[in-house]
A and B are shown apart, each in its own frame.
Chain A
Amino acid sequence: MQKWLLASLTLGLLAGQAFAACDGEGPRNVLFNCGGGCTIHRGVCTGIGGVHCNPTALKVLCCNGSSYTSANSCIPTSAELQRFQPDGGVQPNLLANQKSTLVVGTCGAYNGQFEQWLQSHPSVVSARAQLPRAAQ
C-alpha cells in the first residue's frame, strides 16, 4: 500500500476549497496529515526527536483529486484540523509546519449503510466463530 503514498510533500490547501459530494467515481486521492514534529518520508510519518506521529486521513478528495495540486500555498492557522469527511465538504486548512501526503483511494457513499450491511450479513464461518464456543 505504501507504494501509493506520494513522497515528502509539504502542502497547504486554500481555505474554503470545496469538493462535491463523494459519488463513487473511482480512484481518488486521500489527503493525510502527519502532525507537528513529524516528517514524511516516502509517505511514512516519522517522528523527530522521539515525537510519536499520528498520521490522520483528513479527507478523501472524492470528486476532483487534481484540485489538490492547484492549491500549493499553506495557510497558517491555529484551528484544529478537521476530521476526515468522506462525503465531501470544505477542505480543512493545514498548519504551516505540517506535512501531508497522498494515497490513492476509492470512494463510495459514507452514510453508515455499509457498516449496517456488514453487521447484518456476516459470513457463516465468522458468525459461528463469534459465538461462545459451547454454543457452536
Chain B
Amino acid sequence: MWIVLSLLLGASAAGRKAPPSAPKVLQPSVSRSLTVPSFSYFGEGQCDKAGNLYFHYVGAGEFRVIHVVGLSAAGTEGTSFKPSGALSDPDKAGFESFSVTPGGDVYILARTRTDKTQIFQFGPDGIMNNPTTLEIPDGVFANDIAAYDNGAILFSGYYEKAGPGHAEGGSYVAVFGPSGKLIKEVPVPLPNVNPSEPTINNGGQTLSADGNVYFVGPNKVFVISRVGEVVRTIPFEKPDPKLVATKIYTSREQLVIVVNRIEDTGAVHPSYLALNGATGERLGYYAAPDEPGLTDVCLSAEGLTFMQFDNGRTKLLTAPLK
C-alpha cells in the first residue's frame, strides 16, 4: 500500500507545474533628486553611456509629434530633439520610434504622409541632419529601431498583409546603411504577429558596447552586426512563459531583459531578467524597488537606474543587481 501511495503522490507532484519563480525586489543604493519638474512621456526612456536620459515627450499630447527630450545625467540641462519647419508638422511626418547611441546621437523614425519611412538624425547638440529614407518594402509597419555607431539602422517591423514569401504579421528585420539603402534582411525567426489579437509584442533592441545590436525575441537574444549578420544567439528561459520580453539592456558582460506581465486590463508589470552575456547563464531575476511609479531607464556598472516623479520633481534611484 505504501508503494501505491508513494506512486500516487509522485504522479501528483509530477503533474503539478512548478510555480513561476518570484523576482527578487531590488534595493536602491543611490538616490538622487533632480531639479527637473515632472513631465509626461510616451513609451520607454533611453540613456547614453554618459547617463544622459532621453524621452519621447508628450508635450501637447500627440504621439505623432516628433519631440525627443534629453536630460543631462546631473539633471541640470535639457536638449530638445525635434525637426523645424514643415517637418515639425505631424501631418507631414509622424513619430514612430527612436534610438539613442552611446555617444548621444538621436535617431528618430518617422512615417511621412506619403508613406515613406524616414530617419531624422540629430547630434548631441540637437542639430538635425538631412532626413534619409529607408528602403522598407511596401506594407511593412515599424516596430522599433536601433542605431549603430556608424549611422546604420537595424529596423524591425512586420508585414501588414500576406504576400509572396511572407505571411500576414510576419516579421521583417533588416539593417540599412546610413544613406537608407538596404544592407541586408536579417533572418530573425520571430513568431508571426496576429493583428486581431490585442497584445504587446516581444521584441526590443539596443546597441551594445561591442558595436552589435542585441535584439531580444521571445526566448533568444540575437546579436546582429552592422552588416546584418547574426553573430551569435543567446537562448534564455523566461521565468514564466507568459511574460513578454520588450526591452534589453547591455552593460559589460551583463544583459538585462525586461519581461512584462500583462494583465487583461492592459496594465503592464515589468520585471528584470539578468543574464551573463557571454554564456547566457541566468544571473538573477528582479523586480523594481518597492516604491511607487518607478520606470527603468539605464543599466550601468552600478546597477539598474529607475526614474520616479516625486512631488513634482524627478528622482533617480540606482539599484545594484544582486
B160 touches A109 (CB 8 A): no
Question: Does chain B have a CB within 8 A of A74?
Answer: no
Given A7-B199, A41-B160, also A83-B61 (CB < 8 A): yes
Whole-angstrom distance between the alpha carbons of A121 and B127 in the complex? 17
Given A3-B143, A54-B91, also A105-B160 (CB < 8 A): no
Whole-angstrom distance between the alpha carbons of A114 and B36 in the complex? 7
Instruction: Identify A4's interface contact among B35, B43, B193, CB under 8 A.
Output: B43
CB-defined contacts of B35 to chain A, threshold 8 Å:
117
A27 touches B268 (CB 8 A): yes
Question: Does chain A have a CB within 8 A of B265?
Answer: yes
Residues 102-118 (chain A) with a chain B CB within 8 angstroms: 102-111, 113-118
Whole-angstrom distance between the alpha carbons of A108 and B42 in the complex? 11
Whole-angstrom distance between the alpha carbons of A125 and B70 in the complex? 12
B295 touches A123 (CB 8 A): no
Question: Does chain B have a CB within 8 A of A69?
Answer: yes
Given A24-B293, A66-B263, A123-B72, also A42-B141 (CB < 8 A): yes
B contact residues, total (Cβ < 8 Å): 74
CB-defined contacts of B199 to chain A, threshold 8 Å:
6-7
B125 touches A125 (CB 8 A): yes
Residues of B whose CB lies within 8 Å of any CB of A are 35-45, 56, 58-64, 69-70, 72, 76-80, 90-91, 94-98, 113, 124-127, 141-144, 157-158, 160, 169, 193-201, 203-204, 246, 263-268, 292-295, 308-310, 312, 314
Question: Does chain B have a CB within 8 A of A26?
Answer: yes
B37 touches A3 (CB 8 A): no
A42 touches B193 (CB 8 A): yes
Instruction: Identify A108's interface contact among B39, B56, B61, B72, CB under 8 A.
Output: B39
Whole-angstrom distance between the alpha carbons of A23 and B39 in the complex? 10
B43 touches A122 (CB 8 A): no
CB-defined contacts of A1 to chain B, threshold 8 Å:
42-44, 56, 95-98, 144
Question: Does chain B have a CB within 8 A of A86?
Answer: yes
Instruction: Identify A3's interface contact among B42, B77, B194, B246, CB under 8 A.
Output: B246
28 contacting pairs across A/B (C-beta < 8 A)? A2-B143, A3-B143, A3-B204, A4-B44, A6-B266, A9-B198, A25-B292, A26-B308, A42-B195, A52-B113, A55-B63, A56-B62, A65-B266, A86-B40, A86-B61, A104-B43, A105-B41, A106-B41, A108-B312, A109-B37, A109-B39, A111-B37, A115-B59, A118-B78, A118-B80, A123-B78, A125-B126, A129-B127
CB-defined contacts of A85 to chain B, threshold 8 Å:
61
CB-defined contacts of A41 to chain B, threshold 8 Å:
141, 160, 195
A interface bracket (residues with beta carbon within 8 Å of B): 35 or more
Given A2-B96, A124-B77, also A7-B41 (CB < 8 A): no
B145 to chain A, nearest CB (A): 9
**Among all A-B residue pairs, the 7 with the closest Cβ atoms:** A84-B61, A108-B38, A24-B309, A26-B293, A66-B265, A114-B39, A113-B37
Instruction: Identify A69's interface contact among B69, B264, B310, B314, CB under 8 A.
Output: B264
Residues 1-28 of A, flagged 1 when their CB comes within 8 A of B and 0 if not, give: 1111011110000000000001011110
CB-defined contacts of B265 to chain A, threshold 8 Å:
65-66, 68-70
B80 touches A44 (CB 8 A): no
B12 to chain A, nearest CB (A): 36
If A6-B199, A57-B58 are given as contacts, then 17 extra A-B residue pairs at C-beta distance below 8 Å, sorted by A number, are A1-B43, A1-B98, A7-B194, A44-B142, A54-B91, A55-B94, A57-B63, A66-B265, A66-B267, A86-B40, A105-B40, A105-B42, A107-B40, A109-B39, A110-B40, A123-B72, A125-B126
CB-defined contacts of B127 to chain A, threshold 8 Å:
126, 129
